[in-house]
Amino acid sequence: MARTRFAPSPTGSLHVGGVRTALYCWLWSRRHGSPFVLRIEDTDRRRSTDEATQGLIRDMRWVGLDWDEGPECPDAPYGPYFQSERLDRYDAAVQQLLDADLAYEAWETSEELQAMRKEAEDNKENFRYRRRPYSEEELARFVAEGRTPIVRLQAPGKDVTVEDRILGPVTVEAEVLDDLVIRKADGYPTYHFAVVVDDHQMHIDLILRGQEHLMNTHKHHLIYEALGWEPIPAGHLPTILNMGSGGKMSKRDKAKAARKAARDAQKAEGHTGWSWLADGTGHSEDELTAFMKKKSDSIPVAEAIAKALGVDLPLIEVMDFRKAGVLPEALINYLALLGWSPGDDREVLSLPELIALFDIGRVTKTAARFDPAKLEWMSGEYMKSLDEDTLFQHLEEWLAVRPSPIAALDEAHKRWLLRMYRPRASTFVQLDTLARFFFVAPTSWTEKQVAKHLRKGGGFDRLQHARVALEDVGRWAPDRLRETVDQLCAETGTGLGKWAQPLRIAVTGTGVSPDLFDTLAFLGRDETLSRLQTCLDSCPREAP
């Protein structure tokens, strides 16, 4: 069996690095025909939210990573799959360790622990908590003060070696290991304890997670050993780095970008303080000041600043990529190659191909750089190759999270727009930008295009003749429009370009569009003729 799991904490939006972890786990299970488990690790009651949980589920579904056991799987055998609903299991395991004297209650307050850390720091020592004996008088005082003890696992005083499936053997020396907290004062287990109990009880066969969790695995091995369970094999995936800074790709990159944009705007406009930005963001000057002083990395504040200043933030979370109009198949394909290689030069790989080829032995040890330009290219490849029904579904998903005039079109016209732009747009945002002229008639025309195609060689005259000819077209369709312009070419002995480009300039304002006759047909008779007349009436006949 090759049961794997993805176990996110619902404390915010799903990070693209989390998707890569989920993908590798999913591919491994699918390759071996084993169940893939989604577990929600919501024991951090202060930060976990139902909204974030629903967001995780939504994002997983959008990228196409389904699960066999987990939320919304009522008949799954090892539930519940929310840690907040499994407290009785953790309590039983804690009690087992207490009864065996392998764990104990610790009564220090956070202030007392901080004082102990400070003392160690002053003595230039590393602080490691070790079991302390309490007198009966001390215990009575702690109870009288209303203290609630935490529970710690006593460190065994020996080095711990983990045989990592990707990195090889990794050893942590005994003196580095604390007496680990396994149950907090609020009665909830710590992450380290709950994850061990769950992975054992859910019969997980392999754990894949980021390298930032490597040192946690040694702690988990101590818990397995204390409970008398066999440690589950684990592999730690390479870090994903930001292409620009070279640092770890993080949600904080958004805050950094927003701060830079705000400071640049402040300097350019000669402002002081942040009151000038408050009205545009909907956040108070105090909130903005705290954010700019790095006392907060609030994503909502960062996004509000970016919107007010008209700047783009780095794409970090799944929803960022969805709003940017990146195709989910491209995101998954690209993430698969960030730390793994199929062994040849292929880059565009379908999910079935990824499943057939995925091998943990080909996961790299070194960090990978996230290249937005490469992802955009890959999204363009999928824009060209996906079947129209799938592409239309993704367009509807994009329109659900990003405002666009495309949303007002009927299905037939949305599909028509896709057919026109899928060869040239890599994302739906690009499609929206390129197609914007369909929804907003031009009131100015690119001077370079006008000078070349309208003022020279009788372009305005041909535009007038074309407008008259188009008025007589019966069925307003691409083939009939082409026949009409072809007839003008034949009658005048001129090439198609002499007629097509003046028409294109008049209806787009820029001279750039998909196939001209598709463009005119999509605009419709009345709108096309109106734009032609507006250009004839308003476009300057003389150079400025």
Judge whether 340 and 362 are in contact, CB under 8 Å.
yes
Cα distance between residue 80 and residue 89, in whole Å: 11
Tokens of 141: 């005082």
Res 405: pLDDT: 98
Give the closest residue to 304 by CA, choosing from 271, 323, 277: 277
Biggest CA–CA distance in the chain, Å, is 110
Domains, the chain, in order of start with CATH, read 86-237 (3.40.50.620), 252-315 (1.10.260), 447-538 (1.10.10.350)
Query: Could you write out the three-class secondary structure of 229-260?
Result: CCCCCEEEECCEEECCCCCECCCHHHHHHHHH
Judge whether 444 and 531 are in contact, CB under 8 Å.
no
Q: Where does 123-251 have alpha helices with state H?
A: 136-144, 191-201, 214-227
Cα distance between residue 391 and residue 420, in whole Å: 13
Res 47: pLDDT: 84
Cα distance between residue 11 and residue 390, in whole Å: 31
Residue 489: phi and psi, rounded to 5, are: -65, -45
Strands annotated E in 461-537 = none
Cα distance between residue 100 and residue 102, in whole Å: 5
Q: State the CB neighbour count (10 A cutoff) for residue 127.
A: 14
Close Cβ partners of 244 (under 8 Å, ≥ 6 residues apart): none
Spell out, as residue ranges, where the chain has pLDDT lower than 50: none
DSSP per position, 44-63: -TTT--HHHHHHHHHHHHHT
* Helix 459-471 vs helix 478-492: crossing angle, to nearest 10: 130
According to DSSP, residue 475 is labeled: S
**Total number of residues shown for the chain:** 544
Close Cβ partners of 273 (under 8 Å, ≥ 6 residues apart): 285, 289
Q: What is the bridge-based pairing of β-strands 4-6 and 36-38?
A: parallel
Res 221: pLDDT: 96
- Residue whose tokens read 């020592």: 125
Res 484: pLDDT: 97
Res 344: pLDDT: 86
- Residue whose tokens read 């793994």: 340
Q: State the CB neighbour count (10 A cutoff) for residue 67.
A: 24
pLDDT digits (tens, 9 = 90+) for 42-77: 988 888 899 999 999 999 999 999 999 999 998 899
Judge whether 306 and 257 are in contact, CB under 8 Å.
yes
Read off the pTM. Answer: 0.92
Residue 423: phi and psi, rounded to 5, are: -75, -15
Res 473: pLDDT: 94
Q: State the CB neighbour count (10 A cutoff) for residue 431.
A: 23
Res 350: pLDDT: 94
- Cα-based distances in Å from 239 to 170, 336, 365: 17, 13, 9
Name the burial class of residue 285, with classes exposed (0-12), middle (13-18) and buried (19+) by CB atoms within 10 angstroms of its CB. Answer: middle
pLDDT digits (tens, 9 = 90+) for 164-202: 999 999 999 988 899 999 999 999 999 999 999 999 999
Judge whether 13 and 59 are in contact, CB under 8 Å.
yes
Cα distance between residue 339 and residue 300, in whole Å: 31
Res 54: pLDDT: 94
Cα distance between residue 67 and residue 61, in whole Å: 9
Tokens of 429: 């945002």
